[in-house]
Copies of this chain bind each other. A is one copy, B any other.
């Protein structure tokens, strides 16, 4: 059992991990850190965390595990603040949606404490943010990708792997580059498409949604994600996201040419392929 785990950023993911740890009786003390005392007080009253502090030194003091669950853009300054507070047996991990830029920041900042930092990313989310939307079951049967650094100790990696498995997730390992390529495609690209679709529609017709069928509601759900988080993701996975948007546009160009040439066979094959793929992926 974990004695003390400190969650830096008690939002949707941090709050859900806190709830999952507590409801599975996996930690004695779930300690929250954040900038806003009122929010931390509210999260404590709701039983999401046991204690909190807005002082990072107090928050991580004696922690076995520190989980960074703030937007990726805050990592550099956080790692600077954390560095002098990391002790020999303390494991620091994160839940950031991009991994290469985080690994680079950690390498530049953490020096001799680098081996204590295990980068990780639970692939789970909701369109709502804040601990009010947190859910102890958020990670059940979800993937968590750990992207270990060369200097990480196997025991430290296993501690983080076990924590995620204990809250119901399945853990995979890959390089930070592979992670960013893959997530750039399966998560960042669809979000960029959804945000762009909503902006395109409203620019054309402010009341377009009146005539949108049910599919639009589902399709655009992910266009309600947090703006700061998504700006951070774009800036931290810039090359991959741009690459995937541009390559996706080539697929759109093919589709346009099939329509323009009235190529019924190619159109049907295009739609059949998508339907077969989607059905096999979801089923």
Q: How far is the CA of A143 from the CA of B209 in the complex (A)?
A: 11
Residues of B within 8 A of A189 (CB): 197, 200
| Complex partner residue of A221 from B123, B145, B215, B247, CB under 8 angstroms | B215
Copies of this chain, tallied across the complex: 2
| Complex partner residue of A199 from B125, B238, B251, CB under 8 angstroms | B251
Q: How far is the CA of A275 from the CA of B270 in the complex (A)?
A: 31
Q: How far is the CA of A203 from the CA of B244 in the complex (A)?
A: 12
Q: Determine if A56 is an interface residue (Cβ-Cβ < 8 Å).
A: no
By the criterion CB–CB under 8 Å, are A260 and B231 in contact? no
Interface residues of A in 199-242 (CB under 8 A from B): 199-205, 208-228, 230-231, 234-235, 238, 241-242
| Complex partner residue of A190 from B216, B234, B277, CB under 8 angstroms | B216
**Distance of A198 from chain B, by nearest CB (Å):** 4
By the criterion CB–CB under 8 Å, are B272 and A260 in contact? no
- The count of chain A contact residues (Cβ–Cβ below 8 Å) is 86
Q: How far is the CA of A223 from the CA of B204 in the complex (A)?
A: 23
Residues of B within 8 A of A226 (CB): 271, 275
Given contacts A195-B270, A202-B273, A231-B267, 14 further A-B contacts (CB under 8 A): A145-B211, A185-B204, A187-B212, A189-B200, A193-B219, A196-B255, A196-B274, A203-B251, A204-B247, A215-B222, A218-B219, A220-B282, A224-B275, A242-B260
Residues of B within 8 A of A275 (CB): 223-227
